[in-house]
A = this chain, B = another copy of it.
Amino acid sequence: MDTAIVDTTLLTFADGSPGVVEEGAVGIEDDELAYVGPAADLDPGDAAEVIDGDGLVTMPGLVDAHVHSKHTLLRGGAQDVPEIEWMNRALGPLSAAATPEDRVAGARLGVLEATLAGATTVGEYADHVGDLVESVYRPFGTRVVAIETINEVREDRSDLGPRDLYEFDRERGEAALTRANALFDDHGDDPLVTPMYGPQALDMISPELLERVHEAAREREALVHMHVAQGEREAIQIEERYGAEETTVSALDDLGVLGPDLLAAHCHGTTPEERARMVEAGASMVGCPSSIGAIDGIVPPMAHFSDLGGTVGLGTDQAPGPGHHDMFRETRTAAILSKTDATDPTAMPAWEALSLATVGGARALGIEDRVGTLEVGKQADVITVDTTAPAVAPTVDRPFHTVVPNLVHSATGREVRDVFVAGERVVADREFLPADAGAIVAEARERATDLFDRAADDWRAAGSELVDHADAGRL
């Protein structure tokens, strides 16, 4: 045995709920969990390393199921603006100034902070996602679901009226599909990389190309991860293209895409009936409450989708708007926003939120056979969390365990002590091992300063409300 964590409190999530085991232990051999159970029944004698788990919770690594990490360089660049401004007038001018190197520097920072806060799997949604796999995920040893964005619409659409149909650039779409297919050749054998198709949204792709993407996904037994029902602009395009009675969900259903190989992000424009249809069809969803709350002022329907029996994962989306990549924070945000959205403090209880962040995300990404729970034979994606830190302490075991509510409602993310991915330790006693964290931050600071400077004129010309706020000294 390579590593044993002993005398620890386990949260296994083996049956979907936390499944607290007091005085538990975990044994890691190579990339797998070799033991999960009572400490008394494990002889760690031959383990190369034994971690004393007193005061620690040991649990599955968190699954951040929907992330655009390149934007971490643009943190603070786009929030507190009307939703209609967010993409085109606030984030857009900054994002357009990013070089490929900036994207990598941003992704490094984003994955660093996600890992320090306990994420072991990231669902990375990007164009040219293979570049990020090579430059960030493989060097860091983070498990990645690599989702290639497939989008046929040109970036600059400022000349179009609100009901003008987007024109599709088939060449752009074909190139993206080719890149997506190549991921399976390039990374098909890498146990830490799971490729996935990312047709961005139904208004951004032609039905013809979507059908080909769907076919390619079925051939490779891969999932299709799509932003679904994101709001008014998308709804107008769908009406214009598919007919006045159609919505994203009904059109996806007609196209045969609404099924078990669809992972739908956000879904805040769906009706309750549409969500029931999605669950019936076997589609999954990922909710990003920090992002959709901050950018749209809307609560994603995670609680309803989950109540219907659907599979739900959580994601941190991107830094501008919601802030940063911390899955503990995301569980807490999912909980409190679901409660206020339903005016019901029992909505999205702590154990459910934490289960979405672990086994829920693993199921949503189609990798639950390997990760998401602590079970013998699964991949050793494991974290320890210090329950003696202020904010989480004290935790008690009788008459009930307070550790789960404390992790969800109280943790800052900085209580994570150790992170293992496939048995490799990437965080030890809060220190990130695969790279120099200080250098990652320093490069991000330097590149962000240059980038914002290069983008300054375009940002000002785009004229979002942030320009006025800056001029008034509020920013």
Smallest beta-carbon distance A403→chain B, Å? 7
- Give every chain B residue within 8 A of A191 (Cβ-Cβ): none
Q: Are A466 and B345 in contact (CB under 8 A)?
A: no
Q: Give the CA-CA distance A405 to B333 in the complex, in Å.
A: 17
- Contact (Cβ within 8 A) B80 A405: yes
CB neighbours of A466 from chain B (8 A)? 400
User: Are A294 and B336 in contact (CB-based, < 8 A)?
Assistant: yes
The answer to whether B459 and A399 touch across the interface, beta carbons within 8 angstroms, is yes
A17 contacts B by Cβ under 8 Å: yes
Q: Mark A71-91, 1 if CB is under 8 A from B, else 0.
A: 001011101111100100000
Contact B73 A441 (CB under 8 A): no
Residues from 306 to 323 in A contacting B, C-beta threshold 8 Å: 319, 321-323
Q: Are A448 and B294 in contact (CB under 8 A)?
A: no
A409: min CB distance to chain B, Å: 4
Q: A429 to nearest B CB, angstroms?
A: 15
Q: Does A192 count as interface, using CB distance less than 8 angstroms?
A: no
Q: In the complex the two chains form, is A322's CB within 8 Å of B409's CB?
A: yes
For window 89-143 of A, CB contacts with B under 8 Å fall at: 109, 112-113, 116
A427 contacts partner chain B, Cβ-Cβ < 8 Å: no
Nearest CB on B from A414, distance (A): 4
Residues of B within 8 A of A388 (CB): 438, 441-442, 445
Would A452 and B398 count as touching, CB distance under 8 A? yes
Residue A165, interface by CB 8 Å: no
- Whether the Cβ atoms of A79 and B412 lie closer than 8 Å is no
Q: Could you tell me if A465 and B346 are in contact, using CB atoms closer than 8 angstroms?
A: yes
Given A297-B340, A336-B290, A337-B336, decide whether A77 and B410 contact each other with a Cβ distance below 8 A. Answer: no
Stretch binding the partner chain, chosen from A40-48, A207-215, A238-246, A389-397: A389-397
Determine the interface band of chain A, counting residues with CB < 8 A from chain B.
35 or more
CA distance A321 to B473 in the complex (A): 36
- Interface contact A326-B412, CB-CB below 8 Å: yes
In this assembly, does A385 line the interface, its C-beta being within 8 Å of a C-beta of chain B?
Answer: no
Complex: A293 Cα to B342 Cα, angstroms: 11
> Which listed residue, B109, B295, B399, B441, touches A470 by the CB 8 Å rule?
B399
Is A444 in contact with chain B by the CB < 8 A criterion? yes
Find out whether the CB atom of B394 lies under 8 angstroms from the CB atom of A345.
no
Q: Known A394-B75, A394-B448; judge A336-B333 contact (CB<8 A).
A: yes
A469 to B350, CA, bound (A): 11
Once the chains are docked, how many angstroms separate the CA of A442 from the CA of B390? 10
With A343-B298, A391-B326, A393-B109 in contact, do A349 and B474 touch (Cβ < 8 Å)?
A: yes
- Known contacts A321-B409, A465-B346, A453 near B332 by CB under 8 Å: no
* A9-B390 Cα distance, complex, nearest whole Å: 28
User: Of B294, B339, B402, B412, which is within 8 A of A339 by CB?
Assistant: B294
Q: Which residues of B contact A438 (CB under 8 A)?
A: 388
Taking CB atoms, residues of chain B closer than 8 Å to A397 are 449
Point out the residues of chain B lying under 8 angstroms from A459, CB to CB: 399
Asked if B351 and A475 sit within 8 Å, CB to CB, the answer is yes
Inter-chain contact A116/B394, CB cutoff 8 Å: no
- Is A378 close to B, CB under 8 A? no
State A468–B441 Cα separation when bound (angstroms): 46
Report the separation of the CA atoms of residues A113 and B396 in the bound assembly, to the nearest whole angstrom: 19
Structural contact, B339 and A293, CB atoms closer than 8 A: yes
**Given that A299-B340, A437-B390, A474-B349 are known contacts, is A294 also in contact with B399, CB under 8 Å in the complex?**
no
For A428-447 the 0/1 string (1 means CB < 8 A from B) is 00000000011011101101
Q: State whether B297 touches A345 (Cβ < 8 A).
A: yes
| Residue of A82, A339, A470, A474 contacting most chain B CB atoms (<10 Å) | A474
List B contacts of A109 (CB < 8 A): 390, 393-394
Closest CB of chain B to A345's CB: distance in Å? 4
Distance of A50 Cα from B456 Cα, bound (Å): 35
* Pairs of residues from A and B, 9 with the lowest C-beta to C-beta distance, nearest first: A76-B402, A323-B410, A400-B470, A323-B409, A80-B349, A394-B448, A399-B456, A113-B390, A297-B339
**26 CB-based A-B contacts, threshold 8 Å:** A17-B472, A75-B393, A75-B394, A76-B395, A76-B402, A79-B349, A80-B350, A82-B345, A109-B393, A297-B339, A297-B343, A299-B340, A323-B332, A324-B391, A324-B392, A324-B409, A324-B410, A337-B337, A346-B465, A390-B437, A390-B441, A393-B445, A394-B447, A395-B448, A396-B449, A405-B475
